[in-house]
Structure 1
Amino acid sequence: MAGTSPRYDRCRYCKERFAQTSGPGRKKEYCSIGCRRRAQRERDGRLGQQRTRSALPLGQGIAEDVQALSAALLEAEYDGRSLMELLHCANELGRELDHYAAAAVQDARNRGASWDQVAEAARVSATTARTRWPENRVRERLEQRAVQRAAVRQPSAPLVEGTDPADPGGGRPLSKAAERASAKLASALSHLYRASDLTIREVAEQTSLSPSYISRILSGERKPTWPVVCSLAELFNEDAAELSVLFESAHGLVPPARHAVPDTMARLQAVLRGLHLAAGRPQPGVIRQASHGALSARTISEILNGEMIPGWEQTSALVTALGGSPADVRPLWEAVHYTFLLCLDPQEVPRPLPAARPATD
Structure 2
Amino acid sequence: MQDDADRTLGSEVGVDPSYICRVVSGERIPSWPVTRRLALALAADPEEILPLWRSARGYDTTAGAADLQAALRGLRTAAASPDTGLLAERTQLAKGQVEDAFTGQVLPDWDTTSAIVTALNREPELLRPLWISARAAALAQETGSTCTISAGAFG
Shift in Å, 1:215: 4.5
- Equivalent residue for 2:44, pick from 238, 250, 255: 238
Taking a change above 3 Å as real, the CA distance of residues 332 and 205 of structure 1, as seen in their structure-2 partners, is closer
Deviations 1:78-122 (A, max 9, x none): xxxxxxxxxxxxxxxxxxxxxxxxxxxxxxxxxxxxxxxxxxxxx
Query: Does residue 143 of structure 2 align to residue 341 of structure 1?
Result: no
Partner of 1:34: none
Partner of 2:115: 317
Taking a change above 3 Å as real, the CA distance of residues 297 and 211 of structure 1, as seen in their structure-2 partners, is same
Q: Which gives a bigger RCO, structure 1 or 2 (Cα 8 Å, sep 6+)?
A: 2
Partner of 2:81: 281
Partner of 1:224: 30
Partner of 1:254: 59
Structure 2 alignment gaps of length 5 or more:
145-155
- Please list every run of at least 4 consecutive aligned residues from structure 1 whose deviation after the TM superposition is greater than 6 angstroms: none
* Greater per-residue helix proportion: 2
TM-score w.r.t. the length of structure 2 is 0.67
Deviations 1:252-300 (A, max 9, x none): x3214xx3xxx42232113322332343322122112212x3x111221
Partner of 2:98: 300
SS where residue 299 of structure 1 aligns?
Answer: helix
**1:63-74 residue pairs with structure 2 within 5 A?**
none
Query: Does residue 71 of structure 2 align to residue 266 of structure 1?
Result: no
Deviations 1:11-49 (A, max 9, x none): xxxxxxxxxxxxxxxxxxxxxxxxxxxxxxxxxxxxxxx
Shift in Å, 1:345: 5.5
Taking a change above 3 Å as real, the CA distance of residues 200 and 335 of structure 1, as seen in their structure-2 partners, is closer
State, as a whole percentage, how many aligned pairs show the same letter: 35
Count of aligned positions? 141
Taking a change above 3 Å as real, the CA distance of residues 285 and 209 of structure 1, as seen in their structure-2 partners, is same
Taking a change above 3 Å as real, the CA distance of residues 254 and 308 of structure 1, as seen in their structure-2 partners, is same
Do the aligned partners of 2:118 and 2:124 also contact (CA within 8 Å) in 1?
yes
Partner Cα distance (2:55, 2:113) in 1: 18
Taking a change above 3 Å as real, the CA distance of residues 289 and 247 of structure 1, as seen in their structure-2 partners, is same
Partner Cα distance (1:205, 1:219) in 2: 18
Superposition CA RMSD, Å:
3.0
Partner of 1:203: 9
Do the aligned partners of 2:51 and 2:70 also contact (CA within 8 Å) in 1?
yes
**1:129-144 residue pairs with structure 2 within 5 A?**
none
- What is the one-letter code of the residue matched to 1:289? E
Deviations 1:282-337 (A, max 9, x none): 2122112212x3x1112211221244422334323323333344444344333223
SS where residue 224 of structure 1 aligns?
Answer: coil
Do the aligned partners of 2:55 and 2:129 also contact (CA within 8 Å) in 1?
no
Do the aligned partners of 2:44 and 2:77 also contact (CA within 8 Å) in 1?
no
Shift in Å, 1:341: 2.7
Partner Cα distance (1:216, 1:326) in 2: 19
Partner of 1:54: none
Partner Cα distance (1:217, 1:315) in 2: 23
- What is the one-letter code of the residue matched to 1:284? T
SS where residue 38 of structure 2 aligns?
Answer: helix
